[in-house]
Structure 1
């Protein structure tokens, strides 16, 4: 197991049994993928192996769930961080597994109280996403204008000027678009956690959408139906579509989600964060903050300003 050297070849029978009991519950009561269940099992095995290794002297002391206290889990967290040198994401995944495990154990009356509740996760520094440059945006637009249908042109224009997620684009219906003489909006009904919001449309979007809607067949269920089936365009198909134009524009290292990031970065230059969060459908300003944090390249430019060479 990663970062862990054991003095024994295997876990105690008690340790194996509790892992099997917990795994059996996940398989029968939770709608989880087999890969997720394997990760739960591996994380719990890692903790129990560490616990039994910590307790061991000349005699093996088998794992007993009631012997685990809050300071035990805090020490495990510190060992993973300081001695095993694991990444915060890995540490937090294992802590979340333990929280799920001890919550189950308390519900089964295997323990009187959950020792994992007070344990905090390790802070993870949010890094700013890759920024699409003005030149890259222009190249992408040129590629779709020269090679794409009016539907594809409208999709990419809308994503760049509204910051909608791929799922939100795919779920739009013609009735979700409201265009007036000097304003417009698109109603997003499938945001994260089913939150509905209204996103304003600038003149670029309004002109493009009016042109597109004029040729969209009447009675179309979706704003951007699949050209093959006429049904809902899937997120996978949308990502593939955008990658096609990325390749035509000779752009590398960018994805469909980077169109949303491009919108966020451009808007953050002049838009108050609370308004941008509302437009983008963020639950927390911490998420919106990634668009105002300096990138590593930005920081490099700043320190180069005082270089002697």
Structure 2
């Protein structure tokens, strides 16, 4: 089978597995890069793709000055595709036995400062539907650490007395707690939403647009940039709220396992990157408050 045809079939397969449109788009873009490389090296059939082919592809990506994390993101898609081909009997090789990953740089995750978070809330004052909705969105992103797509996918039936059911990556469900400050904002939002859409049909999602449609990821990204106007030196995005949540939890002394649960991390090694990204001054302050001898009384 030709590589191009195999990619088409694989993209249909992950669509059947109910991968999100954004994830499918990422796989398509990454596999097109691999297809272009194979075409340039006159490798048309999947049967002719070997471990050496992937190594050459990785070397070419490295030579183009791409970062290790970026290259491994592409290789993740290539690995999934080649493993699918192997299991379907199209050739290629068993990637579970061996696969060439690129060495990654130490991840340095930057998060908002407390003052920057306060600035966003100050920019989001008001008593109309939009202001109350947006303030609830900011509160939920910052107080739970959920992803933007997860926030947009919440349905009213997912909301419970003291927790929210979150549908994460690969359709895995988890729960995040509703803190008192989040509950206060949700009560205000639910009241203004009920009044605003009293005589209108709406989508079955918790956060709605002006027209009663499900709020989109791009819409949340736009409102983040609006309320983050004036903040410099950091990317103002929903995902940066997630970073802020994780690092603040660490500073408050929460253990990595407990932090990993609401974040939806499969293992604490992913959560560990937030700890590694703390500045030396942050680590010193945490250590000072955790004196071994002082704890003995």
Q: 1:122 aligns with which of 102, 118, 121?
A: 102
The corresponding residue for 1:256 is 238
The corresponding residue for 2:159 is 177
The corresponding residue for 1:41 is 35
Query: d(CA) in 1 for partners of 2:163 and 2:155?
Result: 13
Alignment partner of 1:217: what SS? helix
Alignment partner of 1:132: what SS? coil
Alpha carbons of structure 1 residues 299 and 81: separation in structure 2 relative to 1, 3 Å: farther
Alpha carbons of structure 1 residues 123 and 242: separation in structure 2 relative to 1, 3 Å: same
Query: d(CA) in 1 for partners of 2:221 and 2:66?
Result: 32
Q: How much is the aligned-residue C-alpha RMSD, in angstroms?
A: 3.8
Q: Determine if contact 1:160/1:260 at 8 Å carries over to the other structure.
A: yes
Say if 2:117 is the partner of 1:137. yes
TM-score, L = length of structure 2: 0.70
Say if 2:194 is the partner of 1:200. no
Query: d(CA) in 2 for partners of 1:27 and 1:272?
Result: 43
Q: Determine if contact 1:43/1:94 at 8 Å carries over to the other structure.
A: no
Q: Determine if contact 1:77/1:95 at 8 Å carries over to the other structure.
A: no
Q: 2:6 aligns with which of 13, 16, 25?
A: 25
Say if 2:292 is the partner of 1:287. no
Query: d(CA) in 1 for partners of 2:141 and 2:79?
Result: 39
Q: Which has the larger radius of gyration?
A: 1
Alpha carbons of structure 1 residues 63 and 167: separation in structure 2 relative to 1, 3 Å: closer
Aligned residue pairs total: 258
Q: Determine if contact 1:22/1:101 at 8 Å carries over to the other structure.
A: no
TM-score, L = length of structure 1: 0.67
Alpha carbons of structure 1 residues 45 and 151: separation in structure 2 relative to 1, 3 Å: same
Q: 1:216 aligns with which of 183, 193, 196?
A: 193
Q: Determine if contact 2:143/2:179 at 8 Å carries over to the other structure.
A: yes
Q: 1:22: how far off?
A: 1.8
Alignment partner of 2:175: what SS? strand
Alpha carbons of structure 1 residues 110 and 264: separation in structure 2 relative to 1, 3 Å: closer
Alpha carbons of structure 1 residues 114 and 280: separation in structure 2 relative to 1, 3 Å: closer
**Which range is displaced more, 275-284 or 81-90?**
81-90
